[in-house]
Amino acid sequence: MSRLLLPLLALAGAATLEAQSANPLSAEARWSYNSIKNNLLKLADKMPADKYSFRPVAEVQTFAQRIAHIADANMFVCSGLNGEQKRLGAASKASKPELVAALKESFAYCDRVFGALTDAKAVELVSSRLGGSFPPEPTRSRLATMYNLIRHSNEMYGYMAVYLRLNGVTPPTSAPE
């Protein structure tokens, strides 16, 4: 029995490695994107609705404005990567249900963009004006643009985790399920 099991396990492991390495760059980007997407959705859900207008100090955005910023940025970047100019208009929304819906809509759109990414597409050049700090070059790789979206989302999560803590709420990454 063990003589048969060992070769089968080795074959299964090799098949898994092959599947993982077919598009390693895009698979890694998708994993990072899905991780921060899930964290942001949980963060938005954990903040009580009556605290969406909270801001730690007058000089910074409210929690609602941060959620709207993420949703609008996601749609801008992901639709740009699709050759479109879709706008979400999340900045005009104020309530938790509206903003969570906008955030989910932006992620649903980005899911399709990240889902279609292959390593061959990752190196295609796109406009460097698709979000983030703009390098002097007019173009950068699709992958660099997508990682910039991930970086921005992680940065926003870090800021917003403090908003939760200041309201007595434990951020999702500090209280895993």
CATH for 23-174 is 1.20.120.450
User: Kind of pairing, strands 125-127 and 139-141?
Assistant: antiparallel
Find, among 74, 100, 104, the residue nearest to 87 by Cα. 74
Tell me which H or E stretch contains 90.
none
The owner of tokens 């990240």 is 114
Find, among 138, 135, 92, 88, the residue nearest to 110 by Cα. 88
Given a contact cutoff of 8 angstroms between Cβ atoms, the answer to whether 127 and 144 are in contact is: no
Domain parsing of the chain, residue ranges? 23-174
- Whole-angstrom distance, CA of residue 128 vs CA of residue 125: 9
The pTM (predicted TM-score) of the whole model is 0.86
- Whole-angstrom distance, CA of residue 25 vs CA of residue 152: 19
146-165 pLDDT, tens digit per residue, is: 999 999 999 999 999 999 99
62-117 pLDDT, tens digit per residue, is: 999 999 999 999 999 999 999 999 999 999 999 999 999 999 999 999 999 999 99
- Whole-angstrom distance, CA of residue 115 vs CA of residue 81: 12
102-141 pLDDT, tens digit per residue, is: 999 999 999 999 999 999 999 999 988 886 666 778 899 9
Given a contact cutoff of 8 angstroms between Cβ atoms, the answer to whether 35 and 149 are in contact is: no
- Whole-angstrom distance, CA of residue 175 vs CA of residue 173: 6
